[in-house]
């Protein structure tokens, strides 16, 4: 009986250390910033430095930040995509096993295209329903490559 109460304290202290360390790690990794729209959060891991630098010089930087093009605009889809991408990014960056130069995934490409059309619907409404656009055969960024961020090292 006495030994189990001693263990209860050890567990409690141990759990407290775990929670504290986890919170500190989250803070140290600037975890909260990922819930924001701040483009600087995307280059926390430094792999996005070039993308960030070129976005600063792009035609879109006064009207659209990373999230405007890369994640859905509405709740809760926005945070679902953020969480999913965040998981992939942090796993890849921690384990260091990803393609170089980094490449956008097909699902994210679809999201991107959707966001182009979302803002420019009045202008592209007539062509957005075209089959090639629907099938992702004709993508906005194929031709308008420098609109967001064109990196050449």
Partner 1 sequence: MRRLMPFLLTIAATAAATWAVATLLLNISQRKQEGAYQYLRLVEITEETIDPSLWGRNFPRAYEGYLRTSDTVRTRYGGSEAFSKLDTDPAWKRLFSGYAFGVDYREERGHAFSLEDQKTTLRTSQFKQPGACLQCHAGGMKQVYESVGGGDLQKGFELVCAMPLDTAWKYVSHPIACTDCHNPADMKLRITRPGFLNAIKLVKAREGIPNYDPNTMATRQEMRTFVCGQCHVEYYFKGEGKIVTYPWHNGLTMDGAEAYYDSVGFKDWTHKETGAPMLKAQHPEFELWNQGIHARSGVACADCHMPYMREGAAKITDHHIRSPLLNVSRACLPCHHFPEQEMLARAEAIQSRTIALLDRGEIAVLALCDAILAAMRRGATEQELAGPRALHRKAQWRLDYISAENSSGFHAPQEAARILAEAIDYARQGQLQAELIRPSGLSVK
Nearer to partner 1, 47 or 81 (CB): 47
94-102 CB contacts, 8 Å cutoff, 24+ apart: 101/151, 102/47
What lies within 8 Å, CB to CB, of 49 at 6+ separation is 43
Is residue 74 at the binding interface for partner 1, with CB under 8 A as the rule? no
Restricted to residues 34-63, the positions that interact with partner 1 (CB under 8 A) are: 45-47, 49
**Residue 80, interface with partner 1 (CB under 8 A)?**
no
Cβ–Cβ under 8 Å, residues 85 and 77 = no
Residue 152 binds to partner 1 (criterion: CB under 8 A):
yes
Q: How far is CA 31 from the centre of its chain?
A: 13
Torsion sign over Cα 80, 57, 119, 108: negative
Q: Which of 63, 76, 97, 101 binds partner 1 (CB under 8 A)?
A: 101
- Binding-site size for partner 1 (CB under 8 A) equals 30
The site for partner 1 (CB under 8 A) is made up of 3-4, 7-8, 10-11, 14-15, 17-18, 21-22, 24-25, 28-29, 45-47, 49, 93-94, 96, 99-101, 145, 151-153
């Amino acid at each position: 009986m006495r030994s189990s109460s001693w263990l209860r304290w050890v567990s409690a202290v141990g759990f407290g250390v775990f929670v504290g360390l986890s919170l500190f790690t989250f803070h140290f990794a600037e975890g909260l910033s990922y819930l924001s729209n701040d483009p600087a959060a995307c280059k926390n891991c430094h792999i996005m430095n070039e993308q960030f630098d070129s976005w600063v010089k792009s035609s879109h930087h006064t009207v659209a930040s990373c999230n405007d093009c890369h994640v859905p605009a509405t709740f809760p889809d926005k945070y679902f995509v953020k969480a999913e991408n965040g998981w992939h990014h942090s796993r890849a960056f921690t384990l260091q096993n990803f393609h170089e130069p980094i490449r956008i995934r097909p699902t994210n490409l679809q999201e991107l295209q959707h966001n182009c059309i979302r803002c420019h619907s009045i202008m592209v409404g007539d062509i957005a329903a075209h089959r090639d656009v629907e099938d992702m055969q004709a993508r906005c960024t194929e031709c308008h490559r420098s609109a967001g961020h064109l990196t050449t090292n």
